[in-house]
Structure 1
Amino acid sequence: MDNDITIDFIENNLNIFHKLYDVIRVVDPITKRVLLYNGNTLVEKASSCFNEIGKESICDNCISIRALKDKKTYMKIESLDNKSYLITVLPIEVNNKTLIVELIKETTDSLFYGHSLDGKGCKVNNIINDLKLMTIRDSLTDIGNRRFIDETLPIDMKVCFKKDEPISIIMVDVDYFKRVNDRFGHTTGDFVLKELAGCLKQCIRNKKDWIGRYGGEEFLVCIPGADEKAALVIAERMHERIAEKKFIHNNEDIKITASFGICSTSNKDITVEEFLNLADKKLYEAKNSGRNKIVF
């Protein structure tokens, strides 16, 4: 089929394509604008291509650009909000200009891997979710890892600022953790970190709050929508819970304390790095002034 009649073919056979795909569109891959083809005239719509599946920015792996450069058809699976989308793109020539036809299909429950369809495990969406979970979860403490923090914190900041709400973070660091490893061994140290993460998880308010392992024995607690007063209440709750907790491993009773640094902001101009640095400074104030305390 000649490329110059591809759009006409699609328009004349939409019923066939709509059974295969949820969205059919023509895209200018350079401007990332969606186009309409009416009466041999290309008309630009007022939406960006990536808005169609709920994204706020261009995909890191834009296969439309790749299809434009290579003059080839490409396919990829895009995962967003626990849903999977199969995206097929093919280049076409219209009015001496190369455009891209994008065909999008939600495949959350309809795309399978392998020949067996008798179990949930063979759904590609489940495989994607499992792989994603492996990349963002800390295997020891079963909370978010540094990658999870780096991906999630900027989004939560953006959402809060858009709603004109504050956001707070708490840096938590285990006091004298090296002494635990030196005296009891790294296996016991791992046990302490895992138990501590459990203590922190018990103190957050709801599903919007989250905890990540920032590195080593340091944790980050994110509380979207909370001002400094609300964050202080949660930090005090965590401080008390750790003080009451009995860390017993291999018949050893291990005393643990932690230091806390809190930072709250509503400043839309603050960067993620600046936000983290401010909380980190408060944490080091707590540690340098005697440890086992909260600074905000």
Structure 2
Amino acid sequence: MYEIVRYEGGVYRNNILKEWIEDVGGFVIQEHVMQLDVYMTVAIPRSELENFKREAKKYKGKVVETPLAGIEIAVVAPSLSRHHLPHTACDIAEYLRRYGAKSNMIGLAHGAGKDISSIKEREKRLIEEHDLAVYVMGNFESCIKDKVHLFEVDIPVVVTGGPEKIDIPYPYVGNLGRRAHRLRHSEERQALKKMVEEITKLIIKRKEELSYDPPVVPPVVLKDILEKNVEEIYSILSPMPIVTQLDGLRVKLDYDTYHDKIETVKVGKYLLKDIAEVKRSHMKNYILIKIKPTSEVIG
């Protein structure tokens, strides 16, 4: 198993540190160099995490554990109108990124209105491509209760809203309703922290479930293999050309053009299409890879 952490340090001997990471079987998922500072998202074998912390100190750096690193979260608002966006949803999405998550904002086409709100099947499938969904709701308890059907997706869900407490069958975090300002007050910051705690609980539970029959190849390992075998990935201008998930990857290449090449990448003694489902994403026609469980491949 791999732990995904963030390294913060300087450019001094940074290449040597990256070589050490590779030597112990780790991977640099993402790297940002800003003048003399280096920020890296690193996947490291769990058994080497303490050694990595000691090694980082040699280069005047530090290792920050990021509980949500390596997961993709959908931040869902009932609509993209001013009625529901932008401040709360934007702040929530940005706050999740601080903890290592990759967040995508999604606005429903017909999520507004207590009596007429609905979620399309395509929207549901798009949300279900993520590891977890955070629904950003409004200030009225009755409105949230009448829209519970919007939360019926096949992934873990956390609901946020204005009322401090509300009786719904989903994890709920209050004090995060509609605002005309950024979330910078004390009670709002505390609510954001509580939201991360609820998300972390669900992610830990999901990781435990996957540990009983894990993906046949860890997503970070598959990411490294794709980067070495598909040169077109380096032409992607996105900051994260490949997004890691708990059980797969999102590759930001056009499905129609590149899915054949992706499917035939060698992963050990297998072709990728033999150990994973390579399918069209509902997000910008990207390539979505869902890795099969070990028992399904090896038997």
Task: Name the TM-score class by shorter chain.
Answer: under 0.3
Which entry has the higher C-alpha Rg, 1 or 2? 1
TM-score normalised by length of structure 2: 0.23
